[in-house]
Amino acid sequence: MLPMLSLNTLNFQHLLYFWVVAREGSISRATEVLHLTQPTISTQLKLLERALGAALFEKRGRNLVLTETGHLVFHYADDMFRTGRELTEALARGDARAPVRLVVGISDSLPKLTTWRLLKPALDAIDGLRLTCRIDKTERLLADLAVHALDVVLTDTPASAGLPITLFTHLLGECGLTVFGTEELANRYRRKFPDSLDGAPFIMPTSNTAMRRSLDAWCLARDVRPDVVCEAEDVALLQVFGQEGMGLFAAPTVVEAQIRRAYHVRVVGRLPDVRERFYAVSAERKLAHPAVVALSEVARTKLFG
């Protein structure tokens, strides 16, 4: 457990040095930003670690990597110094109101176009909203949410009931999947769809994603065996490979039109029985942040309604 600190005992100059080192990735690069020597920065970091009672970095080869405590401290420091920068900018502009900020954790398995459709209502609802997006594995995002380093997490899987922390999952909506391909592949496999998917070249998300598990279950039930030519953890990469004709790929039907325009692909067919669900996970039982309330209402009544 970390020792109890007060604002009087926390040295914000040391915290600034730590924040710059963490952001730059090394002490040597931080020296260029801070205009200080390496020994000076190293000494200040050790003093901060001593005050916190925990190591903030660990050595991995020649690199400095944040510890679990380091990640926590960095999140708070990042918020503090960004708020300070916003304060100076607001004073320079003569703004009388503080901006509304929303820090969103986005599961790396969520399609980017779907994420945009989910977040756009929040931007429309609050003028001048300051949005920060952090993309990571769902488990790490939920850990950050638990310590209030995030306002909400958007994901395609509900928070596990077995977590050692209490979080609340809010279903935003669900939709089927659409299968896409280049014009040549679409013309070849559109006939007799979806049985035509048997043996068809298919680019699949990796097995740790909700979409892949749903697709595998559907294929098993229909006795359809696509030829999985590639597995991609990054959904955007999967779509680019599909655009180049490597194989067919699936995406949520709710962004069908956007996928067609963005990647110049054709619809092969739709799988309404393969459901893709989207959730907002919060640390509160009821969604409270006005931007999150706005995106939730639009998702439920319009986007998926």
71: Cα within 13 Å, side-chain hemisphere: 14
Is 99-305 in the same CATH topology as 1-98?
no
Q: Residue 197 has which token pair?
A: 């998917």
Following CA atoms 111, 114, 115, 119 in sequence, which dihedral angle do they give, to the nearest 10 degrees? Answer: 180
Q: How far apart are alpha carbons 190 and 188 in whole angstroms?
A: 6
Q: How far apart are alpha carbons 134 and 117 in whole angstroms?
A: 17
Nearest to 2 by CA among 145, 147, 133: 147
Task: Name residue 44's amino acid.
Answer: Q
pLDDT (tens, 9 = 90+) of the chain, 305 residues, equals 455 555 556 788 888 999 898 888 888 888 988 889 999 999 999 998 888 888 998 888 777 888 888 888 888 888 788 777 777 776 777 666 667 889 999 999 888 899 999 999 999 988 888 898 999 988 889 988 888 889 999 999 988 766 667 889 999 999 999 999 999 999 999 999 999 999 999 999 999 899 999 999 999 999 999 999 999 988 889 999 999 999 999 999 999 999 999 999 999 999 999 999 999 999 888 888 999 999 999 999 998 87
In CATH, what number does 99-305 get?
3.40.190.290
CA distances from 54 to 27, 39, 58, 67, 71 (A): 19, 20, 11, 9, 12
Domain formed by 1-98, architecture: Orthogonal Bundle (1.10)
Q: Residue 183 has which token pair?
A: 């014009």
Extents of the domains making up the chain: 1-98, 99-305
pTM summary value: 0.71
Q: How far apart are alpha carbons 255 and 112 in whole angstroms?
A: 10
Q: How far apart are alpha carbons 120 and 250 in whole angstroms?
A: 23
Strands 152-155 and 101-107: parallel
